[in-house]
């Protein structure tokens, strides 16, 4: 509660001197400097952030507008951003959008440069719609720096920090084909979403490259959730299992590429219901890297990005402001775990 004038009085100097001691050390004479520091300690003085920011005309806060913070993926992102922000002296304001477009527009319209230096957009939902783009433009017009950590927004001057979605599902598919699998199931999202389309293309391209045919029936919409993934896989198994792919007479293994961990869970449950074991009967890869993938039994092979790297690139773009590149790609990584290993290979892990 002590202010700079109190410190000045206690130290017997002017407020200007106190300010200098704190901000331009070395300019003030050693004796006065010491007296000021003593007074600061004695009075337990802390500069008023508000007054500082008002004077400086800049706030060290970034708003994280996130689709659904109760999803571990977004939680991990928030965590990484908080850590990275700490390094740069920024704080993170959290706004949960509940995956609603109108909440995003409202949240954007409420932000000001007096609250917030910049905004991090992170939602899988399509941000290309006119109302959203308009809200982004308005916010930018108010001087806010906006960065999107999930997708490239077409026709928008918003810096994007994105994984290569297509390359990720392509690598995941490649991994399974390399392991000798010929029958592959892709559990993705609806083609309405540009991101989902990207991922499906990655799957199909990889299959084409590797000479594996894609049965349209094997491309499923799991709606990014457990139940629909389970249901669609179950339906597929009912129709085709033992006829077109394993386990039939010779029980050939087949593969599943699932986009996120919830879809992986759905896949495990469907497989389980048909007596299929992972990885003995089914090899499985997930296109996002979360702690749960490691904790799962068997541990799940993933192709994913590192959240710390994503956060780092995001802050770099925020700080660069309008100087930031339009698109920054975040590298991804294939982490092979038991879920996609040949039964014989697992022992080598130990």
Question: Least Å distance between CB 136 and DNA?
Answer: 23
Is residue 143 near a copy of itself by the rule CB under 8 A?
A: yes
Reduced 3-state DSSP string for 103-116? HHHHHHHHCCCCCC
H/E run at residue 61: strand 61-66
17 counts as binding DNA under rule CB under 7 A: yes
SS3 110: helix
16 interacts with DNA by CB under 7 A? yes
Say if residue 73 is exposed, middle or buried (CB neighbours under 10 Å; 0-12, 13-18, 19+): buried
Q: Report how far residue 176's alpha carbon sits from residue 183's, in angstroms, rounded to the nearest whole number.
A: 10
CA distance 164 to 195: 10
Residue 253 contacts a copy of itself per CB under 8 A: no
Q: How many CB atoms lie within 10 A of CB 146?
A: 25
CB of 52 to DNA, least distance (A): 4
- 348 is an interface residue for DNA by CB under 7 A: no
The single-letter DSSP state of residue 260 is: S
Shortest CB 43 distance to DNA, Å: 10
Q: What is the nearest approach in angstroms of a copy of itself to the Cβ of residue 212?
A: 30
At closest approach, how far in Å is the CB of 100 from DNA? 29
For residues 36 and 28, what is the distance between their CA atoms, to the nearest angstrom? 10
Q: Which listed range, 156-164, 171-179, 211-219, 285-293, lies at the site for a copy of itself (CB under 8 A)?
A: 285-293
- Widest pairwise Cα distance in the chain: 93
| Residues of this chain, 166-185, that bind DNA according to CB under 7 A | none
From residue 102, give the alpha-carbon distance in Å to each of 78, 105, 123, 190, 328.
21, 5, 13, 21, 27
Nearest CA to 119 among 74, 66, 71?
66
Length of the chain as a residue count: 350
- 175, burial (CB in 10 Å: exposed 0-12, middle 13-18, buried 19+): buried
Return the residue of 4, 168, 300, 324 that touches DNA, per CB under 7 A.
Answer: 4
- Among 304, 258, 296, 256, which residue's Cα sits nearest to residue 276? 256
State which of residues 9, 32, 83, 100 lies at the interface with DNA (CB under 7 A): 32
Choice between 54 and 349, CB closer to DNA: 54
d(CA 213, CA 155): 36
Residues 6+ apart with CB under 8 A from 323: none
Residues 64-123 that bind a copy of itself (CB under 8 A): 64, 68-72, 74-76, 78-79, 82-83, 91-96, 98, 112-115
Residue 20 binds what, of a copy of itself, DNA, none (CB under 5 to 8 Å, by partner type)? DNA
111 binds DNA (CB under 7 A): no
Report d(CA 198, CA 209) in Å as an integer: 16
For residues 18 and 7, the answer to whether their CB atoms sit within 8 Å is yes
Q: Which is nearer to a copy of itself, 214 or 225 (CB)?
A: 225
The site for a copy of itself, by CB under 8 A, has a size of: 52
Give yes or no for residue 58 binding DNA (CB under 7 A).
Answer: no
Calpha distance 287→302 (Å, rounded): 6
Minimum gap (Å) between residue 47 Cβ and DNA: 4
Q: Which string of x and - marks every residue 147-186 that binds a copy of itself (by CB under 8 A)? A: ----------------------------------------
Does 117 bind DNA (CB under 7 A)? Our answer is: no
Among 10, 40, 45, 153, binds DNA (CB under 7 A): 45
The answer to whether residue 42 forms part of the interface with DNA (CB under 7 A) is no
Using CB under 8 A as the criterion, which residues of the chain lie in contact with a copy of itself when the complex forms? Answer: 1, 44, 46, 48-51, 53-54, 59, 61, 64, 68-72, 74-76, 78-79, 82-83, 91-96, 98, 112-115, 142-143, 225-227, 230, 262, 265-266, 269, 272, 290-292, 295-297
The residues binding DNA (CB under 7 A) are 3-5, 12-17, 19-20, 22-24, 27-29, 31-33, 45-48, 50-52, 54-57
């Amino acid at each position: 509660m002590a202010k700079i004038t109190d410190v000045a009085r206690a130290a017997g100097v002017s407020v200007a001197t106190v300010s200098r001691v704190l901000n331009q050390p070395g300019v003030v004479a050693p004796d006065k400097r010491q007296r000021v520091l003593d007074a600061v300690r004695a009075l337990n003085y802390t500069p008023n952030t508000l007054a500082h920011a008002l004077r400086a005309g800049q706030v060290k806060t970034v708003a994280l507008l996130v689709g659904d913070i109760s999803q571990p993926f977004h939680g991990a992102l928030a965590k990484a951003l908080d850590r990275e922000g700490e390094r740069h002296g920024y704080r993170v304001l959290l706004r949960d959008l509940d995956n609603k477009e109108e909440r995003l527009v409202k949240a954007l319209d409420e932000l000001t440069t007096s609250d917030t230096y910049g905004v991090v957009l992170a939602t899988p939902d399509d941000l290309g719609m006119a109302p959203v783009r308009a809200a982004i433009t308005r916010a930018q017009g108010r001087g806010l720096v906006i960065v999107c950590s999930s997708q490239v927004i077409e026709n928008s001057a918003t810096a994007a920090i994105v994984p290569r979605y297509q390359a990720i599902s392509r690598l995941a598919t490649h991994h399974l084909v390399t392991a000798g699998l010929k029958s592959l199931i892709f559990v993705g999202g609806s083609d309405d979403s540009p991101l989902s389309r990207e991922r499906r293309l990655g799957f199909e391209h990889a299959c084409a490259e590797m000479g594996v045919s894609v049965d349209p029936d094997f491309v499923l919409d799991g709606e990014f959730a457990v139940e629909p993934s389970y249901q669609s896989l179950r339906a597929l198994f009912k129709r085709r299992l033992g006829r077109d792919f394993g386990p039939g007479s010779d029980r050939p293994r087949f593969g599943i590429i699932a986009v996120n961990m919830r879809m992986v869970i759905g896949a495990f449950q469907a497989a389980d219901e048909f007596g299929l074991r992972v990885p003995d009967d089914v090899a499985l890869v997930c296109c996002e890297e979360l702690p749960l993938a490691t904790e799962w039994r068997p541990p799940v092979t993933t192709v994913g990005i590192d959240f710390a790297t994503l956060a780092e690139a995001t802050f770099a773009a925020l700080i660069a402001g309008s100087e930031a590149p339009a698109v920054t790609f975040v590298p991804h990584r294939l982490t092979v775990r038991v879920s996609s290993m040949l039964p014989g290979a697992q022992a080598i892990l130990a």
